[in-house]
Chains A and B, each alone.
Chain A
Amino acid sequence: MDHTRTLLDVLAAHAAAEPKKTAFTFHEKAHCTFGDLWTNINRFAGFLINKGLKPKDRVVIVLPNSSFFFTAFYGAQRAGGIAVPIYPGSGIERIVRLSKLCEASFIIISKNYSPSHSMELKTRAKDIPASVCFVETSRCCGEKIIYPEVSLKDISYIQFTSGSMGNPKGVQLTHANLMTNIDQMIRGMKISTTDIFVNWLPVYHDMGLILMTMVPLYLGLGLVILPTGILHIRNWLKSIQNYQGTFTAAPDFAYRLCLLYIKDPSNYDLSSLRVALNAAEPVRSSTITSFEKKFRLKNVMLPAYGLAEASVGVCSWKPGRKVNTDSRGFVSVGSPFPKIRIKIMNNQGEAKTGEVGEIWVQSKSNTPGYYKNPKATRELLGEGDFIRTGDLGYRDAEGYYYIIGRMKNIIKQAGINIAAREVEELLDPISFVRRSAALGIDRGRTQGEQVYIFLEVNLKRSLWRQQEILKEMTIEAVRRFKDTFGFTPGRVYLLKSRSIPMTYNGKIRYQELKDLYMGGHLRAGNLILFPEY
């Protein structure tokens, strides 16, 4: 692997050498060639430059899995800017908030965004100040554009990740970080020119973006991209069959959905699969066993671990080998990718084999820091280029790693990090809510860990039985959550005032709340006003 080129350079090279070669196929219909991709990237970049984009300006991108996403994502960087992809279903509040956090100059949306919302967004964006542009019509027309030099040490993009104290943190990743991690994952998982990638994951998030699209674009591999979501779960598996996909990835939850919803597994021939990566969420050994049995596969599901702060990939199991499960049922995530070091740390220093501690990672793919957040950056960077992941795990006698849990107050729903505090700040302002608390609860069912919300209500006793008010508050909480995160919480409970256990200095005692709920004590103590289940 050469260490002199950015991914932009590689895309330019593919376009020059093989302009008619397919870069990716979208939705089993349209495909985009390397030539067209590079042309689109340049036109979009030219547009931004003409509109006054300065080097390193942040360009927020609010686009779904689509050809346009790549035009905007790479186009922003080609223009010398920094791309900031965010969840495309974000409500206006969230778009504005994240744009303010990264001081964006541009917000790129699609013409499919509702007209009234676009108007409101344009108005609100003036406060940032940022220009709102439609990707479909943002292109320059053949005039000569001077594209700035982009070097490996420049920041390529910012990945927002939920922080444990309120505001999301912007993980900055350089071109060098990305090229390093691309190389590490290729070598670690033996990805080669015979691999064909089929991707169902969101491309605006690390695993979908870096592993599932940057790697195949870098190598010029077959790449099929599908829209995200449950309507497309069959398409995902059918595409693997039709395109003879060898490599796919998803959180454990998505594989469990296949088990739940696909009743005719014999109609899906997944025998071309070499790797079905399983990461972003705790991997259940039952998922591996059941999925492989149902779809007649052997040693294809590959548990892996990573985090945005290390670009994305840190370690994985060895492809083709039977997965190790420890005596407690935890599935191993294998060994680190080349040139990545992992240390397990506890209060006394480095932990012994078998001892659980915090996972620290050293890699040239590690972020140089969060965007304008020196405090969080200091907390992240341990000593000697190691980052503190906030995850707990251990290394066994053979050198294989196991992820046991999490230190931070982050909830993981369907592979997505959500900070309890971020949820609470969103819900505290609802009328009649005295205080809110968010917990991650996994009741062992298909959906895995879910956000459970507890709202203390400030209602007169006489109103406690007014179902309409209680329902309205619940629906409002669910709606606000959905508008922000894109899916709904597992459950919302309305509690009497002072039901949520607190420390003397005003912090929520999450573990105690969890124990109270799971043990049925909230219900037994008559503290739950709604619902009755």
Chain B
Amino acid sequence: MTITIQDIRSLVGLQLGVRDVSANARFIEDLGAESVDLVNLIAAAEDRYHISFDEEQIARVRTAQELYDLIKKTAQL
């Protein structure tokens, strides 16, 4: 399964209710996300790609690009 950065930008947009998410937009500062939004976003990514993130790494994900990198790394793609 190929995952593209566009897929992740779309995932972020759906979860946060934002129409055009750029790869480097920061969830909190630029997209208005709050604590619960972030954990729900991580849950959506886990459900979508059938993976489980290491809690260590979740805390450092701040943009769609970083989430994409983490997913690729975790899913070993």
Contacts and interface: CB of A to CB of B under 8 A. Distances in A.
Contacts of A446: 39
Contact of A488 (B15, B48, B55, B56): B15
Interface in B13-39: 13-19, 28, 32-39
Contacts of B77: none
Nearest to B43: A445
A492 B41 CA distance: 12
B64 to A, nearest CB: 15
Nearest to A228: B34
B75 interface: no
A182 B19 CA distance: 46
Given A486-B34, A531-B14, A447 B39 contact: yes
A532 B17 contact: no
A260 B16 contact: no
A229 interface: yes
User: Max chain B CB contacts within 10 Å: which of A230, A445, A491?
Assistant: A230
Interface string B34-57: 111111100110011000000110
A447 B58 contact: no
A450 interface: yes
Contact of B35 (A257, A475, A532): A257
Given A471-B14, A478-B14, A531 B43 contact: no
A230 B40 contact: no
Contacts of A479: 17
A413 B36 contact: yes
B13 A475 contact: yes
Contacts of A450: 36, 40
B34 A481 contact: no
Contact of B36 (A447, A471, A474): A447
A492 B47 CA distance: 13
Contacts of B17: 475, 477-479, 481-482, 488
Give the interface residue-count category, chain A.
35 or more
A229 B34 contact: yes
A260 B14 contact: no
A47 interface: no
Contacts of A147: none
B15 A414 contact: no
A427 B13 CA distance: 18
B36 A414 contact: yes
A233 B35 contact: yes
Nearest to A416: B36
A478 B32 CA distance: 13
A55 interface: no
Contacts of B36: 253, 413-414, 447, 450, 487-488
Contacts of B33: 488
B74 to A, nearest CB: 15
A19 interface: no
Interface string A226-250: 0001110100000000000000000
B14 to A, nearest CB: 5
A533 interface: yes
Interface in A519-533: 531-533
B26 to A, nearest CB: 11
B71 to A, nearest CB: 13
Contacts of B58: 260
B67 to A, nearest CB: 15
Contact of B48 (A260, A447, A487, A533): A533
A478 B16 contact: yes
Nearest to B47: A533
Interface in A404-436: 413-414
Interface in A123-172: none
A465 interface: no
A533 B17 CA distance: 17
Nearest first, the 5 closest Cβ-Cβ pairs linking A and B are A478-B17, A230-B35, A479-B17, A533-B48, A533-B47
20 contacts: A229-B34, A230-B34, A253-B35, A254-B35, A414-B35, A414-B36, A443-B43, A446-B39, A447-B40, A471-B10, A471-B13, A477-B17, A482-B16, A487-B36, A487-B37, A488-B15, A488-B36, A489-B40, A490-B40, A533-B47
Interface of B: 10, 13-19, 28, 32-40, 43-44, 47-48, 55-56, 58-59
Given A447-B43, A471-B10, A475-B13, 18 more contacts: A230-B28, A253-B35, A447-B39, A447-B40, A475-B14, A475-B19, A477-B17, A478-B14, A478-B17, A481-B17, A482-B16, A482-B17, A487-B34, A487-B37, A488-B37, A488-B40, A532-B48, A533-B47
